[in-house]
Copies of this chain bind each other. A is one copy, B any other.
Amino acid sequence: MFATRKIFLALVGVLIADSALSRPLTAEQKLALSFVLPLKAPQPKDNISNTHKIELGKQLFFDPRISKDGTVSCNSCHNVMSSGTDNRAVSAGVGGQLGGRSSPTVFNAAFLSALMWDGRKTTLEDQATGPLTNPVEMAMESNDAVVARLKQIDGYQELFTKAFGSRDALNINNVAKAIAAYERTLITPNSPFDRWAKGDDHAISASAKRGFTAMNELGCTSCHSGPAFSGPKLPVGTAFFQRFPTFTDNDYVKKYDLMADEGRKTVTKDIADAHMFRVPTLRNVATTAPYFHNGKVLTLQEAIRVMAKTQLNKNLSANEVDDIYNFLVSLTGTVPEQTMPRLSKTMGTSVTPQ
């Protein structure tokens, strides 16, 4: 009897859900469909994932022993138990040294065509090893020093062999590949926005829906397009940059020191690249305060006002800000459920210099 009732209720549930989903999509939902995040991240042909590679990448991501003094791991600044960032203006590396720009979230980085604020890295593999030898981040002397240290840790050799199918697989390229493979699992599909776009009318509020419409009408989505709201899909290696700030004649520029960092020009030395930045993802943006490359804007509401003024020369009403805020909150996905890595150990000795 009880079982029959359960089946009946389950059927009713399916019918309700089905009728909701089979209702024609609204014009906004049809538009929203182009922003839906895929359930799987794309992977390059030369780094196809496997479970061993992902598990190895997770260990490396959490292992502070590949920083100079054993205190900083990738997860220190890209906390995957939280927002994929450290929620600081700029990050702290070994010895408490501060970086120059705010750490972006690692979540959904797998969908981006440009990494780093100045777009100087284009693939997860390229990016993964940068912080290891950055003197204010993990501060290892060289990639060789990273590999040498990993070779001292019982268990890593075996993990690399399992992940890459060859005996002599512990090298810096495979460190990068393993970390990248792990990062491709750090995605947050099925946010309320995605569920709404696919037909669940009640997944987001009326205010959030108005916010999405406003984002399109104001012009925000001209740049913040695509599944990660980070620009159009471009060939690998082609980054999507915009000038920030575009409109400089406003109080925000001075208040938040927005002209200090020349962005992509610091890499290319080309004057045409001055203040060009890659378009960052808006996915989970409500969880990644403080905002912008310098982390000087403390709240998302203020970040919305700043963007409207500096990029579109528009002053938003309080209601518009609220609606866009609610829309952006609806882009908050669920942090992936994960087991903790169990780091390979060394017996009777520490690889961290004392």
User: Residues of A at under 8 Å CB distance from B?
Assistant: 62, 64-65, 69-71, 76, 79-83, 86-89, 92, 94-97, 286-287, 289-290, 295-296, 298-301, 325, 329, 332, 334-335, 337-343, 345-352, 354
Cβ-defined contact, B87 with A350, below 8 A: yes
The chain B residue sitting closest to A80, CB to CB, is B340
With A87-B65, A343-B81 already in contact, the answer to whether A348 and B325 are too (CB < 8 A) is yes
In the complex, A325 Cα to B290 Cα: how many Å? 50
With A64-B79, A339-B340 already in contact, the answer to whether A350 and B290 are too (CB < 8 A) is yes
Cβ-defined contact, A329 with B300, below 8 A: no
Cβ-defined contact, A92 with B69, below 8 A: yes
Number of copies: 2
What are the residues of chain B within 8 A of A62 when measuring CB–CB?
A: 81
CB distance from A309 to the nearest CB of B (A): 18
Cβ-defined contact, A300 with B96, below 8 A: no
Cβ-defined contact, A340 with B81, below 8 A: yes
Interface centre among A71, A82, A348, A352 (most CB of B within 10 A): A348
CB < 8 Å neighbour of A348 from B289, B339, B341, B347: B289
CB < 8 Å neighbour of A88 from B69, B87, B290, B347: B69
In the complex, A347 Cα to B289 Cα: how many Å? 8
The chain B residue sitting closest to A91, CB to CB, is B71
With A338-B340, A340-B80 already in contact, the answer to whether A350 and B64 are too (CB < 8 A) is no
In the complex, A82 Cα to B88 Cα: how many Å? 26
What are the residues of chain B within 8 A of A82 when measuring CB–CB?
A: 342-343, 345
In the complex, A341 Cα to B340 Cα: how many Å? 9
The chain B residue sitting closest to A297, CB to CB, is B354
Cβ-defined contact, B300 with A348, below 8 A: yes
CB < 8 Å neighbour of A71 from B88, B286, B338, B352: B88
Cβ-defined contact, A71 with B87, below 8 A: no
With A70-B86, A96-B95, A97-B96 already in contact, the answer to whether A299 and B349 are too (CB < 8 A) is yes
With A87-B70, A352-B88 already in contact, the answer to whether A337 and B339 are too (CB < 8 A) is yes
Cβ-defined contact, A342 with B335, below 8 A: yes
What are the residues of chain B within 8 A of A350 when measuring CB–CB?
A: 87-88, 289-290, 298
Cβ-defined contact, A71 with B89, below 8 A: no
In the complex, A351 Cα to B97 Cα: how many Å? 21
CB distance from A143 to the nearest CB of B (A): 22
Query: What are 27 sample pairs from A and B whose C-beta atoms fall under 8 A apart?
Result: A64-B86, A65-B87, A70-B87, A71-B76, A71-B92, A80-B340, A81-B340, A81-B341, A81-B343, A83-B345, A87-B351, A92-B95, A96-B96, A286-B347, A287-B345, A287-B346, A287-B347, A289-B349, A290-B354, A296-B354, A298-B354, A300-B349, A325-B348, A334-B342, A337-B339, A337-B340, A337-B342
In the complex, A81 Cα to B298 Cα: how many Å? 33
In the complex, A329 Cα to B154 Cα: how many Å? 14
CB distance from A102 to the nearest CB of B (A): 10
CB distance from A351 to the nearest CB of B (A): 8
In the complex, A327 Cα to B87 Cα: how many Å? 45
CB distance from A69 to the nearest CB of B (A): 7
The chain B residue sitting closest to A328, CB to CB, is B348
With A88-B71, A335-B342, A340-B338 already in contact, the answer to whether A348 and B96 are too (CB < 8 A) is no
